[in-house]
Amino acid sequence: MGYFAIIGDLDASRELDQRAAVQRQLTAAVDRLNQSDRRATTALRLTAGDEIQGLSTDPVYTLDVLLALSEAATPGWFSWGLGYGGLATDIVDDIAMMDGPCFHQARTALAAAKHRDTWLEARGIDDEVAVPLTALMNLAGAIRADWTERQSTYVAAARGRRQSDVAAELDVAPSTVSRALRAARFDRVIEAEDAARLMLQNLAHD
């Protein structure tokens, strides 16, 4: 059986002025995903070195992990590696005790992302999917890299919600939310994410 492994590393985490706050945000986000998402083969794990590892037979799960934790890490920035392959060990509760080609591919992809200064790289997946997937996500990542903390906050709050509800929650005018999302190119980023999700859904059905 093939598995999709996702490994993320928080870049220069020791240099973050808000490292403690980011660590709390990430821990809370990992806990939420572990409690609410049943697609994981085993629980996500966040290490003391600010690295995250996830595993699933569902490739869309890995994308959702990437998006949720990238937003939780603001103002920090993750580099991500996505790998596909088999497992060489049994499935256990502690993902750090597992090994196999899927993890090796993800680790190679993460190294490539760091070398190329990109958001995501994929290995072990057919080029027909890997090439457009990484290109699309890295274009979206280039847009995200220019977001202010304020824009990131509005984007995270606006996912799947009406702008009026976001404005009420953040105690700002709806026009303020609208301007922030427009400046962040929120609609274009969501389109890119939806297209990437569709690519991964098709990959799962191959």
Two structure tokens written together for 5: 């492994």
Q: How many domains does the chain divide into? A: 1
155 is a domain residue: no
- pTM for the structure as a whole: 0.90
At 10 the three-state DSSP class reads: strand
111 is a domain residue: yes
Q: How far is CA 180 from the centre of its chain?
A: 22
User: How far apart (Å, rounded) are the C-alpha atoms in residues 140 and 185?
Assistant: 10
User: How far apart (Å, rounded) are the C-alpha atoms in residues 173 and 187?
Assistant: 19
- Tell me what pLDDT residue 58 has: 95
The domain that holds 110 is classified in CATH as 3.30.70.270
User: How far apart (Å, rounded) are the C-alpha atoms in residues 10 and 29?
Assistant: 14
Q: For residue range 22-72, list pLDDT tens digits in order.
A: 888 899 999 999 999 999 999 999 886 689 999 999 999 999 999 999 988
Domain span including residue 26: 3-124
- Average pLDDT, stretch 75-79? 86
